[in-house]
Amino acid sequence: MKYRIRPVVTDDSAQLVILLGELGYPSTADFIREKLTQLSSTPGTKILVADREGTVIGLLCFSIVPLLHVSGGLGRISALVVASEFRGAPSANV
């Protein structure tokens, strides 16, 4: 089985509800779709998913926060989850 990392799309919303539920954040596909639309237009924010043959098995949401006191920015991960059945699985086919 092959895995790929790709940008999230709104069609992933229902699968993201399941993943975020594993973190204790119950939601709906409509809410997630709305948040994806909002975050997609936020500068410095990226949302990536791990996809295994069309099934979303992981999620990473991160942002780059500009800093006043130094050049560059600070990376902040706001969501990171791997589906429970894939945690600790070998990743040789990534």
**Residues 66, 42: contact at Cβ < 8 Å?**
no
The answer to whether position 92 is within a domain reads: no
Quickly count: other Cβ atoms within 10 Å of residue 56's Cβ. Answer: 21
The 10s digit of each residue's pLDDT in 13-71 is: 999 999 999 999 999 999 999 999 999 999 999 999 999 999 999 999 999 999 999 99
The answer to whether position 49 is within a domain reads: yes
Provide the β-strand partners of residue 82: 58
pTM exceeds 0.85 for this model: yes
The answer to whether position 73 is within a domain reads: yes
Structural domain total, the chain? 1
- Residue 62 belongs to what domain range? 3-86
What contacts 60, CB < 8 A, 6 or more positions away?
47, 48, 49, 77, 79, 80
At residue 2 the predicted structure's pLDDT band, cuts being 50, 70 and 90, is: confident
The answer to whether position 14 is within a domain reads: yes
The answer to whether position 93 is within a domain reads: no
- Using CA atoms, how far apart are residues 85 and 18, in angstroms rounded to an integer? 12
Does position 92 have pLDDT exceeding 70, yes or no? no
